[in-house]
C-alpha cells in the first residue's frame, strides 16, 4: 500500500523528491490505519449495533489532548492471546504454532491471496469465558499476571467502579456458571480480590460477542482516545495539505479494510473481521452474526465523562 500511494503522489507531484513522497505517504498510511481500526476493527470488536465513524473534526471543540501515551492497564487488557486458534489453516494445509511462527516460507509457498482468504475464513478463539488460552502462549498470560502484580494493579471490581460499572457480587455472577466460579472462589476467597487480567478472561461473554462487559467498557474509551489522539487528527494537521492535497486526503477518508486488500491483492478476496455464515466450523465462534441495521454514532460519546479515567 505504501508503494501504491507513493505512485499516486508521484503522478500528482512529479517535482517531489523521494523523501517528501515517503514522508507524505507515511502520513496517509497512518490516517488509513486509524480509519480502518476504528470503522472496521473496533467496530467489530465492540459487538454493538451502532456504526463508529472516524471524523477528527468531532473533537475539535472538545477538551482533548493529542499525545502518544497509553495506560499500563490498557496494554495489559489488550493481551488477547485466546483469539489465537489452536492451529492455522492455510489453503489446504494445517500448521501448528511451532510450524507457523517465524516461518516466512509459508507466505512464499501459499501466496498473499491464499493467506488473506484463509485467515478471513477461519474463526478466531473466544477471549472471554475462560479456559481458552492456547497451550503454546500460556506463558504470555502468566507474564501478564506477574507484571500486573509487580505494578500493583487494583482488583477487577475496583476498575469496574472506576469506569462506572456495577461491581460483581459473586464469582458466579462474574463467570455466569458454577464450575469456574467455585475454582476461583477457592483460589481468591473473595470476589473483591479478583485480579484484573484473569477476571477479564473468565468473565462471561456478552451475547454474540467475543468479550465480556468489562473488557469493552474499559477498552473502548482507551482505544478511541489513543487513536484519535494521534497528531494527524489535531486541528493543525487534519487538512488536505498534510496528505499531499485532495487526492491524499481522499485516500484517508475513504479507506476500509476491504479497499486496502482490493488495492493490493489480486482478485480482491473478501476480507473482514467476521466470517460469512453459514460455513460450519468446529472452532470456537467468537463473532456476532447480527444483521441489525447500524446507525452513526459520534465517538466522543464513548470518550465523554471518562476523560478522568483515561
pLDDT tops 60 at residue 203: yes
> Looking at the domain assignment, is residue 263 inside a domain?
yes
> Looking at the domain assignment, is residue 118 inside a domain?
no
Strands 93-95, 88-90: pairing kind: antiparallel
Q: List, as own/partner pairs, every contact residues 140-144 make where C-beta atoms lie below 8 angstroms and the sequence separation is at least 24, other chains included.
A: 140/79, 140/81, 141/79, 141/81, 141/197, 141/201, 144/76, 144/79, 144/197
Q: Which domain holds residue 289?
A: 2-85+123-303
Residues, the chain, total? 310
Nearest-CA neighbor of 242 among 64, 55, 30?
30
How far apart (Å, rounded) are the C-alpha atoms in residues 23 and 240?
Answer: 15
Strands 295-297, 93-95: pairing kind: unpaired
> Looking at the domain assignment, is residue 73 inside a domain?
yes
Query: Based on the structure, what is the number of domains in the chain?
Result: 1
Check residue 242 and give its pLDDT.
98
53, 118 contact by CB (below 8 A): no
Query: Sorting pLDDT into bands at 50, 70 and 90, what band is 305?
Result: very low
How far apart (Å, rounded) are the C-alpha atoms in residues 53 and 43?
Answer: 9
User: pLDDT digits over 157-185, tens only?
Assistant: 999 999 999 999 999 999 999 999 999 99
> Looking at the domain assignment, is residue 104 inside a domain?
no
| Mean pLDDT score of the chain | 87
pLDDT tops 80 at residue 3: yes
Is 114 annotated as belonging to a binding site?
no
Residue 231's CATH number: 1.10.640.10
> Looking at the domain assignment, is residue 185 inside a domain?
yes
> Looking at the domain assignment, is residue 112 inside a domain?
no
Residues linked to residue 165 through DSSP beta bridges, in sequence order: none
User: pLDDT digits over 97-149, tens only?
Assistant: 899 989 999 999 998 888 888 888 888 888 999 999 988 889 999 999 999 99
Check residue 274 and give its pLDDT.
66
> Looking at the domain assignment, is residue 114 inside a domain?
no
Query: Sorting pLDDT into bands at 50, 70 and 90, what band is 31?
Result: very high
User: pLDDT digits over 52-95, tens only?
Assistant: 899 999 999 888 889 888 899 999 999 999 998 889 999 889 99
pLDDT tops 50 at residue 289: no
> Looking at the domain assignment, is residue 310 inside a domain?
no
Amino acid at each position: 500500500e505504501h508503494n501504491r500511494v507513493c505512485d499516486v503522489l508521484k503522478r500528482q507531484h512529479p517535482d517531489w523528491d523521494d523523501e517528501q513522497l515517503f514522508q507524505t505517504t507515511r502520513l496517509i498510511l497512518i490516517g488509513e490505519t486509524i480509519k480502518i481500526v476504528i470503522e472496521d476493527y473496533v467496530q467489530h470488536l465492540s459487538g454493538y449495533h451502532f456504526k463508529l465513524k472516524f471524523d477528527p473534526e468531532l473533537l475539535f471543540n472538545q477538551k482533548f489532548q493529542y499525545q502518544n501515551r497509553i495506560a499500563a492497564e490498557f496494554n495489559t487488557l489488550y493481551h488477547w492471546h485466546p483469539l489465537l486458534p489452536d492451529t492455522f489453516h492455510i489453503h489446504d494445509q494445517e500448521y501448528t504454532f511451532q510450524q507457523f511462527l517465524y516461518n516466512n516460507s509459508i507466505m512464499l509457498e501459499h501466496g498473499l491471496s491464499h493467506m488473506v482468504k484463509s485467515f478471513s475464513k477461519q474463526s478466531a478463539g473466544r477471549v472471554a469465558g475462560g479456559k481458552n488460552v492456547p497451550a503454546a502462549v500460556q506463558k504470555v498470560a502468566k507474564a501478564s499476571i506477574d507484571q500486573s502484580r509487580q505494578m500493583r494493579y487494583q482488583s477487577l471490581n475496583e476498575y469496574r467502579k472506576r469506569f462506572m460499572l456495577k461491581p460483581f457480587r459473586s464469582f458466579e455472577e462474574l463467570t455466569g456458571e458454577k464450575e469456574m466460579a467455585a475454582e476461583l472462589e477457592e483460589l481468591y476467597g473473595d470476589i473483591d480480590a479478583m485480579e484484573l487480567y484473569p477476571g477479564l478472561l473468565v468473565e462471561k461473554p456478552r451475547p454474540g460477542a467475543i468479550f465480556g462487559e468489562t473488557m469493552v467498557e474499559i477498552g473502548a474509551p482507551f482505544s478511541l482516545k489513543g487513536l484519535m489522539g494521534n497528531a494527524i487528527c489535531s486541528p493543525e494537521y487534519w487538512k488536505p495539505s498534510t496528505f499531499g492535497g485532495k487526492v491524499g486526503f481522499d485516500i484517508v477518508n475513504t479507506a476500509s479494510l476491504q479497499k486496502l486488500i482490493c488495492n493490493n491483492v489480486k482478485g480482491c478476496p473478501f476480507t473482514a473481521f467476521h466470517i460469512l455464515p453459514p460455513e460450519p466450523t468446529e472452532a470456537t465462534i467468537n463473532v456476532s452474526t447480527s444483521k441489525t441495521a447500524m446507525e452513526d454514532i459520534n465517538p466522543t460519546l464513548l470518550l465523554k465523562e471518562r476523560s478522568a479515567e483515561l
